[in-house]
Amino acid sequence: MNQTSTLDWTVVCALHRLEPDRGVAALVDGMQIALFRTADELFAIDNRDPVSGAYVLSRGIVGSRGGVPTVASPLHKQVYDLRSGHCLDLPGVAVARHEARCRDGLVEVRLRQEG
């Protein structure tokens, strides 16, 4: 059975430190994540590009495709849906998505672990 368990929320930074439509890398519970702020949402995904294996997604180009918030890998340009982690260019390829929220002006992330 494939269950998803969640760990505790971790404060990453103040919301005002995140520039809209720019990614930043953060270390959360020993895992590199890529954190993105759009006009009205926060997204957290693994920073590791599943195609190249490099930790670069935080440096990707934030945009949208058909109204879906996305990030394009800076290496091979595959586009990932920030809401689900699915690659929009390669079926069956995905990056892990984590929960992100703003509470009292602080950005918090909770990792999702597949188990």
Supply the mean pLDDT for the chain. Answer: 92
Q: According to the model, what pLDDT value does residue 62 have?
A: 96
Range 83-89 average pLDDT: 97
Q: What is the 3-state secondary structure (H, E, C) of the chain?
A: CCCEEECCCEEEEEHHHCCCCCEEEEEECCEEEEEEECCCCEEEEECECCCCCCECHHHCEEEEECCEEEEECCCCCCEEECCCCEECCCCCCECCEEEEEEECCEEEEECEEEC
Q: How confident is the model at residue 114 (pLDDT cuts 50, 70, 90)?
A: low
**Tens digits of residue pLDDT in 45-64:** 999 999 999 999 999 999 99
Predicted TM-score (pTM) above 0.85: yes
Residue 5 above 80 pLDDT? no
